[in-house]
Amino acid sequence: MTGHDAPLAIAHRAGNSLAGLHEANLLGADVIECDVHEYRGRLEVRHLKTAGPLPFLWDRWELASASAPRLGLAELLEAHRHGALFMLDLKGRRASAGRAVAELLHGEGHHREVIVCGRYWPAVEEVARLPFVRPVLSARNRAELARLRRRVAQPGAAPHGVSVHRSLLDEAVVAELRRHVQVVMTWPINDVESLDALLGVGANGIISDEPAVLAELLSRR
Protein backbone atom coordinates (compact mmCIF):
# COMPACT_ATOMS: atom_id res chain seq x y z
CA MET A 1 0.00 0.00 0.00
CA THR A 2 1.37 3.44 -0.90
CA GLY A 3 0.25 6.98 -0.36
CA HIS A 4 -0.96 7.04 -3.99
CA ASP A 5 -3.37 4.14 -3.58
CA ALA A 6 -7.12 4.67 -3.35
CA PRO A 7 -8.36 5.28 0.21
CA LEU A 8 -9.36 2.11 2.04
CA ALA A 9 -13.06 1.45 2.60
CA ILE A 10 -13.23 -0.03 6.12
CA ALA A 11 -16.50 -1.59 7.32
CA HIS A 12 -16.75 -0.68 11.01
CA ARG A 13 -17.84 -3.56 13.28
CA ALA A 14 -18.95 -5.59 10.24
CA GLY A 15 -16.97 -8.58 11.48
CA ASN A 16 -18.88 -8.69 14.77
CA SER A 17 -21.51 -10.93 13.19
CA LEU A 18 -21.66 -13.34 10.29
CA ALA A 19 -24.50 -11.27 8.80
CA GLY A 20 -22.39 -8.12 8.92
CA LEU A 21 -19.46 -10.00 7.45
CA HIS A 22 -21.61 -11.21 4.56
CA GLU A 23 -22.95 -7.70 3.87
CA ALA A 24 -19.45 -6.18 3.86
CA ASN A 25 -18.23 -8.87 1.47
CA LEU A 26 -21.12 -8.18 -0.92
CA LEU A 27 -20.33 -4.47 -0.76
CA GLY A 28 -16.68 -5.10 -1.61
CA ALA A 29 -15.19 -3.40 1.45
CA ASP A 30 -11.39 -3.43 1.53
CA VAL A 31 -11.19 -4.05 5.27
CA ILE A 32 -13.64 -5.66 7.71
CA GLU A 33 -13.23 -4.47 11.29
CA CYS A 34 -14.24 -6.48 14.34
CA ASP A 35 -13.94 -5.89 18.09
CA VAL A 36 -11.98 -8.54 19.97
CA HIS A 37 -12.42 -9.06 23.72
CA GLU A 38 -10.55 -11.47 25.95
CA TYR A 39 -13.16 -12.83 28.37
CA ARG A 40 -12.77 -15.77 30.73
CA GLY A 41 -10.05 -17.38 28.69
CA ARG A 42 -11.84 -17.02 25.35
CA LEU A 43 -11.45 -14.50 22.54
CA GLU A 44 -14.88 -13.13 21.66
CA VAL A 45 -15.90 -10.90 18.78
CA ARG A 46 -18.48 -8.33 19.89
CA HIS A 47 -18.93 -4.62 20.40
CA LEU A 48 -21.01 -4.89 23.58
CA LYS A 49 -19.18 -4.83 26.91
CA THR A 50 -19.61 -7.14 29.88
CA ALA A 51 -21.05 -5.74 33.12
CA GLY A 52 -19.14 -7.70 35.71
CA PRO A 53 -21.44 -10.12 37.55
CA LEU A 54 -24.59 -8.64 35.98
CA PRO A 55 -26.33 -10.89 33.43
CA PHE A 56 -26.18 -8.59 30.40
CA LEU A 57 -23.91 -7.00 27.82
CA TRP A 58 -24.21 -3.28 27.16
CA ASP A 59 -23.10 -0.22 25.21
CA ARG A 60 -24.83 3.11 25.73
CA TRP A 61 -28.50 2.40 24.93
CA GLU A 62 -28.08 -1.19 23.84
CA LEU A 63 -28.54 -4.24 26.07
CA ALA A 64 -28.26 -7.97 25.38
CA SER A 65 -28.41 -11.06 27.54
CA ALA A 66 -25.01 -12.25 28.71
CA SER A 67 -26.16 -15.82 28.02
CA ALA A 68 -26.75 -15.13 24.31
CA PRO A 69 -24.35 -16.98 21.98
CA ARG A 70 -21.17 -15.01 21.28
CA LEU A 71 -19.03 -15.25 18.19
CA GLY A 72 -15.51 -16.50 18.84
CA LEU A 73 -12.53 -15.12 16.93
CA ALA A 74 -11.56 -18.61 15.78
CA GLU A 75 -15.09 -19.15 14.43
CA LEU A 76 -15.02 -15.85 12.57
CA LEU A 77 -11.67 -16.61 10.95
CA GLU A 78 -12.93 -20.04 9.93
CA ALA A 79 -16.00 -18.48 8.34
CA HIS A 80 -13.94 -16.00 6.37
CA ARG A 81 -11.20 -17.89 4.58
CA HIS A 82 -11.33 -15.60 1.55
CA GLY A 83 -12.20 -11.99 0.79
CA ALA A 84 -11.41 -8.69 2.45
CA LEU A 85 -8.64 -7.98 4.92
CA PHE A 86 -9.57 -8.29 8.61
CA MET A 87 -8.86 -5.55 11.13
CA LEU A 88 -8.93 -6.86 14.70
CA ASP A 89 -9.60 -4.03 17.15
CA LEU A 90 -8.25 -5.20 20.51
CA LYS A 91 -10.41 -3.99 23.40
CA GLY A 92 -9.37 -3.46 27.00
CA ARG A 93 -6.02 -2.65 28.57
CA ARG A 94 -4.32 -6.04 28.86
CA ALA A 95 -1.31 -7.16 26.87
CA SER A 96 -2.51 -10.72 27.47
CA ALA A 97 -5.27 -10.11 24.90
CA GLY A 98 -2.61 -9.45 22.29
CA ARG A 99 -0.69 -12.56 23.27
CA ALA A 100 -3.87 -14.65 23.10
CA VAL A 101 -4.66 -13.36 19.60
CA ALA A 102 -1.09 -14.07 18.47
CA GLU A 103 -1.26 -17.61 19.86
CA LEU A 104 -4.61 -18.24 18.18
CA LEU A 105 -3.44 -16.97 14.79
CA HIS A 106 -0.26 -19.00 15.04
CA GLY A 107 -2.05 -22.10 16.30
CA GLU A 108 -4.68 -21.94 13.56
CA GLY A 109 -1.95 -21.75 10.93
CA HIS A 110 -3.26 -18.34 9.83
CA HIS A 111 -0.78 -16.70 7.45
CA ARG A 112 -2.93 -14.19 5.55
CA GLU A 113 -2.22 -10.57 6.28
CA VAL A 114 -4.32 -9.09 9.05
CA ILE A 115 -4.47 -5.61 10.56
CA VAL A 116 -4.41 -5.40 14.35
CA CYS A 117 -5.28 -2.09 15.99
CA GLY A 118 -6.08 -0.74 19.44
CA ARG A 119 -5.74 2.13 21.86
CA TYR A 120 -3.69 -0.03 24.23
CA TRP A 121 -0.54 -0.29 22.17
CA PRO A 122 1.28 -2.99 24.18
CA ALA A 123 -1.46 -5.46 23.20
CA VAL A 124 -1.07 -4.51 19.52
CA GLU A 125 2.70 -4.93 19.80
CA GLU A 126 2.29 -8.47 21.11
CA VAL A 127 0.45 -9.51 17.94
CA ALA A 128 2.75 -7.48 15.68
CA ARG A 129 5.54 -9.98 16.39
CA LEU A 130 3.91 -12.17 13.74
CA PRO A 131 5.27 -11.37 10.27
CA PHE A 132 1.88 -11.15 8.55
CA VAL A 133 0.39 -8.63 11.04
CA ARG A 134 0.09 -4.95 10.12
CA PRO A 135 0.02 -2.97 13.39
CA VAL A 136 -2.17 0.14 13.61
CA LEU A 137 -2.04 2.36 16.72
CA SER A 138 -5.23 4.20 17.65
CA ALA A 139 -5.84 7.59 19.29
CA ARG A 140 -9.24 8.79 20.55
CA ASN A 141 -8.32 11.99 22.40
CA ARG A 142 -5.73 14.78 22.23
CA ALA A 143 -3.44 13.24 24.84
CA GLU A 144 -3.34 9.98 22.92
CA LEU A 145 -2.72 11.85 19.66
CA ALA A 146 0.21 13.72 21.19
CA ARG A 147 1.76 10.40 22.27
CA LEU A 148 1.07 8.94 18.85
CA ARG A 149 2.81 11.79 17.04
CA ARG A 150 5.89 11.30 19.19
CA ARG A 151 5.80 7.56 18.73
CA VAL A 152 5.61 7.44 14.94
CA ALA A 153 8.42 9.97 14.63
CA GLN A 154 10.88 7.70 16.46
CA PRO A 155 13.38 6.08 14.05
CA GLY A 156 12.46 2.49 13.29
CA ALA A 157 9.36 2.57 15.54
CA ALA A 158 6.62 3.56 13.09
CA PRO A 159 3.70 1.11 12.79
CA HIS A 160 2.02 0.26 9.50
CA GLY A 161 -0.68 2.81 10.21
CA VAL A 162 -2.63 4.88 12.70
CA SER A 163 -6.34 5.21 13.44
CA VAL A 164 -7.36 8.63 14.74
CA HIS A 165 -10.77 10.04 15.66
CA ARG A 166 -11.98 12.46 12.99
CA SER A 167 -12.27 15.36 15.46
CA LEU A 168 -8.48 15.32 15.95
CA LEU A 169 -7.45 15.50 12.31
CA ASP A 170 -6.67 18.43 10.06
CA GLU A 171 -4.52 18.72 6.96
CA ALA A 172 -1.32 19.46 8.88
CA VAL A 173 -1.73 16.56 11.31
CA VAL A 174 -2.54 14.09 8.52
CA ALA A 175 0.44 15.25 6.46
CA GLU A 176 2.73 14.83 9.47
CA LEU A 177 1.44 11.33 10.21
CA ARG A 178 1.64 10.22 6.58
CA ARG A 179 5.32 11.08 6.49
CA HIS A 180 5.83 8.19 8.91
CA VAL A 181 3.07 5.62 8.25
CA GLN A 182 1.43 4.10 5.20
CA VAL A 183 -2.19 4.64 6.19
CA VAL A 184 -4.03 7.21 8.31
CA MET A 185 -7.44 5.81 9.20
CA THR A 186 -10.21 7.84 10.75
CA TRP A 187 -13.68 7.31 12.21
CA PRO A 188 -16.65 7.70 12.42
CA ILE A 189 -17.32 8.75 8.82
CA ASN A 190 -21.04 8.14 8.43
CA ASP A 191 -22.18 10.70 5.85
CA VAL A 192 -20.89 11.94 2.51
CA GLU A 193 -20.11 15.42 3.86
CA SER A 194 -17.76 13.90 6.45
CA LEU A 195 -16.29 11.62 3.79
CA ASP A 196 -15.45 14.59 1.58
CA ALA A 197 -13.99 16.53 4.51
CA LEU A 198 -11.65 13.76 5.68
CA LEU A 199 -10.55 12.81 2.17
CA GLY A 200 -9.89 16.50 1.68
CA VAL A 201 -7.37 16.63 4.52
CA GLY A 202 -5.59 13.53 3.22
CA ALA A 203 -6.89 10.59 5.28
CA ASN A 204 -6.53 7.36 3.31
CA GLY A 205 -8.49 4.93 5.48
CA ILE A 206 -12.22 5.62 5.93
CA ILE A 207 -13.95 3.74 8.76
CA SER A 208 -17.73 3.82 8.46
CA ASP A 209 -20.80 2.12 9.91
CA GLU A 210 -22.81 3.12 6.84
CA PRO A 211 -22.75 0.87 3.75
CA ALA A 212 -23.91 3.82 1.62
CA VAL A 213 -20.82 5.84 2.59
CA LEU A 214 -18.50 2.95 1.81
CA ALA A 215 -20.30 2.36 -1.49
CA GLU A 216 -19.81 6.03 -2.39
CA LEU A 217 -16.10 5.79 -1.59
CA LEU A 218 -15.73 2.64 -3.68
CA SER A 219 -17.64 4.20 -6.59
CA ARG A 220 -15.08 6.99 -6.87
CA ARG A 221 -12.25 4.65 -7.87
Q: What is the pLDDT of residue 73?
A: 64
Q: What DSSP letter does each residue of 134-195 carry, written as one string? A: EEEEEE-SHHHHHHHHHHHHSTT---SEEEEEGGG--HHHHHHHHTT-SEEEEE---SHHHH
For residues 189 and 195, what is the distance between their CA atoms, to the nearest angstrom? 6
Q: What is the pLDDT of residue 56?
A: 31
For residues 163 and 82, what is the distance between their CA atoms, to the nearest angstrom? 24
Higher pLDDT, 40 or 31: 31
Q: For residue range 7-36, what is the model confidence (pLDDT) as tens digits?
A: 999 999 988 877 788 888 889 999 989 888
Q: What is the pLDDT of residue 84?
A: 65
Q: For residue range 136-164, what is the model confidence (pLDDT) as tens digits?
A: 999 999 999 999 999 999 988 789 999 99
DSSP code of residue 17: S
Is the pLDDT reported for residue 92 higher than 80? Answer: yes
Instruction: Collapse the DSSP code of 124 into the 3-class scheme (helix H, G, I; strand E, B; otherwise coil) and give the result.
Output: helix
For residues 219 and 221, what is the distance between their CA atoms, to the nearest angstrom? 6
Q: What is the pLDDT of residue 46?
A: 57
Task: Indicate the domain borders of the chain.
Answer: 8-219
pTM metric for this prediction: 0.82
Please give the CATH superfamily to which domain 8-219 belongs.
Phosphatidylinositol (PI) phosphodiesterase (3.20.20.190)
Per-residue pLDDT band for 101 (boundaries 50, 70, 90) equals confident
DSSP code of residue 95: H
- The Cα-based distances of 169 to 22, 120, 195, 206 in angstroms read 31, 20, 13, 13
Q: For residue range 50-83, what is the model confidence (pLDDT) as tens digits?
A: 334 333 333 333 333 344 344 566 656 654 554 5
Q: For residue range 190-216, what is the model confidence (pLDDT) as tens digits?
A: 999 999 999 999 999 999 999 999 999
